């Protein structure tokens, strides 16, 4: 049995996938854990499917490869669901940006995967004025896994994005994190 948690994020270029992985990993480090994160993308344009990975452990992490069989898959855009279930097993968790269930999701249930939905696009539009869902999805991930603390994530968002986005937009992102944390629900 391995002594770390592996998380794979699925999204599109320019949608904050890499930033989401960084927020989670930096939060773990801030809590005294070991963490690593990295993106997987090529020369694709904005909008192309990309992945980012995070590993978190109480011990030094000695593996340095892509995450092929994650404990948790986080799907920032529902259209990427078919790609995101690769490597999942009956003990895996799937966190999806979606407010409704459909036949595609029912196929995932038949595999015994725990599935959680959060209306991250709606939350992002409400707080940010556009569907950049990365911080909302981190809020949902934190609630589902408890891999890091919500307060730590909020501090990391302030530290990581404060200068780039400014205080007002960072506060809106933190509100999105909090709302997603409260709104995520298990459906299978």
pLDDT over 90 (residue 67): yes
For 134-171, how does the pLDDT look when each residue is reduced to its tens digit (9 = 90+)? 999 999 999 999 999 999 999 999 998 887 878 889 89
Backbone angles phi, psi at 148, to 5 degrees: -140, 170
What is the pLDDT averaged over residues 7-32?
Answer: 95
Per-residue pLDDT at 13? 87
Looking at the DSSP bridge assignments, the partners of residue 4 are 57
Range of the domain at 141: 4-186
CB 104 within 8 A of CB 161: no
Query: Which SS3 state, helix, strand or coil, does residue 152 take?
Result: helix
Q: What is the 8-class DSSP label of residue 45?
A: P
Could you tell me how many residues make up the chain?
188
For 30-59, how does the pLDDT look when each residue is reduced to its tens digit (9 = 90+)? 999 999 999 987 766 678 899 999 999 999
> Would you tell me how many other CB atoms lie within 10 Å of the CB of residue 135?
29
Among 61-65, 94-98, 100-104, the minimum mean pLDDT is found in: 100-104
Which CATH number belongs to the domain containing residue 20 in this structure? 3.40.920.10
Per-residue pLDDT at 14? 85
Q: To the nearest whole number, what is the mean pLDDT of the chain?
A: 91
3-state SS string over 90-121?
CCCEEEEECCCCCHHHHHHHCCCCEEEEECHH
Per-residue pLDDT at 109? 63
Looking at the DSSP bridge assignments, the partners of residue 49 are 12
b/e 59-72 (16+ beta carbons within 10 angstroms → b): eebeeeeebeebbb
Total count of domains within the chain: 1
Query: Which SS3 state, helix, strand or coil, does residue 147 take?
Result: coil
CA distance 123 to 112: 28
């Amino acid at each position: 049995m391995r002594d770390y948690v592996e998380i794979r994020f699925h999204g599109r270029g320019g949608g904050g996938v890499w930033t989401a992985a960084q927020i989670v990993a930096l939060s773990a480090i801030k809590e005294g854990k070991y963490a690593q994160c990295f993106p997987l993308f090529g020369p694709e344009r904005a909008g192309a499917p990309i992945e980012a990975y995070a590993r978190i452990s109480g011990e030094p992490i000695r593996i340095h490869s892509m995450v092929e069989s994650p404990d948790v898959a986080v799907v920032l855009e529902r259209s990427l669901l078919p790609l995101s279930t690769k490597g999942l097993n009956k003990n895996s968790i799937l966190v999806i940006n979606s407010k409704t269930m459909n036949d595609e999701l029912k196929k995932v249930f038949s595999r015994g995967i725990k599935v959680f939905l959060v209306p991250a696009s709606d939350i992002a539009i409400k707080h940010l004025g556009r569907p950049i869902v990365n911080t909302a999805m981190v809020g949902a991930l934190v609630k589902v896994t408890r891999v890091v603390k919500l307060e730590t994530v909020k501090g990391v968002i302030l530290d990581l994005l404060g200068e780039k986005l400014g205080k007002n937009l960072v506060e809106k992102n933190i509100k999105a994190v909090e709302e997603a944390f409260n709104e995520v629900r298990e459906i299978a």
